[in-house]
Amino acid sequence: MAEVIKDWDNFKIVAPPLAGALLVKGLRRGRPVSAGEVLARRQGESFGDIHAPVAGVIAEISSTEIVIRRDSAAVGDPPRPVDLSGLSRAGLSRVLKELGVDLPEFLPGAPVIISTFNSEPGLTFALALLNEHRETLGAGLVAVLALNPGARVIWAVDRPGQAPAGVEEYILKYRNYPKTLPALVKKEIMGNYDPAGRGVLGLRDLQTLGRVFRTGLPLTHLVLTLGGANYFVPVGARAIDLLTFANLLPGPGDAVVAGGLIRGRTLARLEQGLGKNIEGLHLVRAPAGSGPPAPCRRCGNCARACPVGLPLFLFVHREPVAWPGLINQARSEWSGCLGCGACALACPVGRPLLALSRLLKA
């Protein structure tokens, strides 16, 4: 049931992605690691370091990932909790980063918006987090205010009476995708369009922040939607193990999508471990009898559906072979593209508009 989040513990191997992080000294194949031990440090102030999600032995280290074979007897005690109370704002940011949290980007003087919606189709954990993890969300809110002293916090909801006591509430008027994307939640509340949606936190971000702030322990597990259910899974859980557990192994032509169903990315390698930013894993069956899309009907649905008014009509009636010549002209306008796929969803003949949008934004 989507409203319950279970722990997923059904794995022998994890492979946390390195994402450009620098390995700590002395890490090598065959070395035992304890659960929560730091493995790699990420550069930049806002990216959290990477920790072993479980105790085990390092089976392999490549330029992209660290593979750990699980073995609970491999090494002794996990790290001791860090006391986060009474730290300065800079001190708290530093320690949260060291404990693995990717820090949200807050704009000075701007409100912080907490969106209680699943940002896109295929993700279902928002209600479960609201129902089952109120206390941890509350700790996340305390952490947000410690990182942004005096900030105005707005809790975006679908009906009144859901915000924690003392927190301003905003009832979102438009709740259908793509209006649930952070940038569009912010646009509705604040009136300005910021494609990065800075200052908007989803409940997954808030729960993660709250969990680390409350326990003082490294971030090792995050919530993920898998086959319509929700689980706390270790950072670096491998797609192949999750799909096997959920009985969702792909057949010829099927795709495995990591993220949401619209903006997610197709995985090329199922043995890869999922990073902290992956919110869902889906099997998308190959459509029966699919062929090349029919010619554009010039209906204009795609341009009307675009929530930020991008000029899709420049492209839609031309064949993809003509796109490269047009792309350079349009690239600057496309920096505001959300990759929301509303244009593709509105197309009656299935033109590859999301692929076009990604190409333009790249």
Binding-site ranges for ligand SF4 (CB under 6 A)? 296-302, 305-306, 308, 310, 312, 316, 337-343, 346-349, 351, 353-354, 357
Give me the least distance between CB of 128 and ligand SF4, in Å please. Answer: 27
Query: What span, in angstroms and rounded, lies between the C-alpha atoms of 228 and 7?
Result: 15
Residue closer to ligand SF4 by CB (options 225, 357) is 357
Residue closer to ligand SF4 by CB (options 58, 316) is 316
Residue closer to ligand SF4 by CB (options 145, 349) is 349
Give me the least distance between CB of 357 and ligand SF4, in Å please. Answer: 4
Is-contact 50 101, C-beta < 8 A?
no
Torsion angle of C-alpha atoms 177, 180, 181, 184, degrees rounded to 10: 100
Residue closer to ligand SF4 by CB (options 49, 120) is 120
Query: What span, in angstroms and rounded, lies between the C-alpha atoms of 56 and 344?
Result: 44
Give me the least distance between CB of 333 and ligand SF4, in Å please. Answer: 10
Query: What span, in angstroms and rounded, lies between the C-alpha atoms of 244 and 239?
Result: 8
Residue closer to ligand SF4 by CB (options 130, 330) is 330
Give me the least distance between CB of 182 and ligand SF4, in Å please. Answer: 13
Residue closer to ligand SF4 by CB (options 257, 337) is 337
The DSSP H or E segment spanning 277 is: none
Give me the least distance between CB of 194 and ligand SF4, in Å please. Answer: 13
Residue closer to ligand SF4 by CB (options 208, 301) is 301
Closest-CA residue to 22 (of 5, 9, 39, 46):
39
Closest-CA residue to 211 (of 198, 221, 201, 199):
221
Give me the least distance between CB of 236 and ligand SF4, in Å please. Answer: 30
Residue closer to ligand SF4 by CB (options 36, 197) is 197
Give Cβ neighbours of residue 55 (< 8 Å, ≥ 6 apart). 32, 33, 34, 35, 70, 71, 72, 73, 74, 75, 78
- Count other C-beta atoms under 10 Å from residue 153's C-beta: 18
Is-contact 16 56, C-beta < 8 A?
no
Query: What span, in angstroms and rounded, lies between the C-alpha atoms of 130 and 143?
Result: 17
- Count other C-beta atoms under 10 Å from residue 33's C-beta: 22
Q: Is the dihedral of CA 53, 206, 258, 331 positive or negative?
A: negative
Residue closer to ligand SF4 by CB (options 70, 186) is 186
Give me the least distance between CB of 287 and ligand SF4, in Å please. Answer: 17
Give me the least distance between CB of 113 and ligand SF4, in Å please. Answer: 20
Give me the phi and psi of 55, to 5 degrees please. Answer: -75, 140
Closest-CA residue to 231 (of 264, 278, 265):
278
Give me the least distance between CB of 262 and ligand SF4, in Å please. Answer: 9
Output the CA–CA distances (angstroms, integers) from residue 172 to 4, 116, 214, in the order listed. Answer: 25, 10, 29
Give me the phi and psi of 149, to 5 degrees please. Answer: -55, 130
Residue closer to ligand SF4 by CB (options 228, 309) is 309
Give me the least distance between CB of 184 and ligand SF4, in Å please. Answer: 9
